[in-house]
Amino acid sequence: MKLNHEGVLDRAIQIASANCDERPDGEAVSLVVIHSISLPPGEFGGDAIERLFTNTLDYAAHPYFETLRDVRVSAHFLIRRAGGIVQFAPCGKRAWHAGASCYAGRERCNDFSVGIELEGTEDIPYTNQQYEALTALVGALLGRYPITGVVAHSDIAPGRKTDPGPSFDWERLRVAPHRG
């Protein structure tokens, strides 16, 4: 698995999101933020996550979706339960995943991070295939960018965000830089 110079992953299904923009001038990717998401919460499969990230969610399809009206978000990557990867924005662009956040004294982590969503919840174990795909993906990112940290969304937005939660086992993210 490898990333081209724009930050497009060869092994991902590409679904373009409009919920991204340019990074500030000269800003390099230096942080990886791990998230979790499921829509509706606790239900896996379906296309609601892709729809949320592409502003095509049918808000009437589920009561929870009503709470997402006017929400404009995305992430660079989504890793499905079976390990498939979907990419919504090239890593060279700024995806809108972290919100108000702070890492090592720097705010607005979207400016300098790549966001990876794991399809899941904070209390159901993530799958073996997800750990395998995540490890390979983070390895590819380390090979392409001067990454100084891999963190949870909850680490950079404490008190506001709790994902990916206690169900995420950091011990299973064994990353070695891969230069392909």
Please give the positions annotated as active site. Answer: 117
DSSP string, 67-114: GGTT-----SEEE-TTS-EEESS-TTEEES-S-S-EETTEE-GGGGEE
Q: Two tokens at 124? A: 């159901």
- Contact region with Zn ion (CB under 5 A), list: 28-36, 57-65, 87-95, 105-113: 28-36
- Residue 149: strand pairing partners: 31
Q: Looking up tokens 């004294």, which residue turns up?
A: 105
Give CA–CA dist 44/11, Å, rounded.
Answer: 21
- Contact region with Zn ion (CB under 5 A), list: 34-42, 69-77, 103-111, 139-147: 34-42
Regarding 119 and contact with Zn ion (CB under 5 A), the answer is no
Regarding 76 and contact with Zn ion (CB under 5 A), the answer is no
Regarding 153 and contact with Zn ion (CB under 5 A), the answer is yes
CB nearer to Zn ion: give 23 or 35.
35
Q: How many residues belong to the site for Zn ion (CB under 5 A)?
A: 3
Minimum CB separation of residue 121 from Zn ion in Å reads: 12
Cα-based distances in Å from 60 to 1, 36, 51, 68: 38, 23, 13, 11
CB nearer to Zn ion: give 80 or 153.
153
Regarding 163 and contact with Zn ion (CB under 5 A), the answer is yes
Chain contacts with Zn ion (rule: CB under 5 A):
35, 153, 163
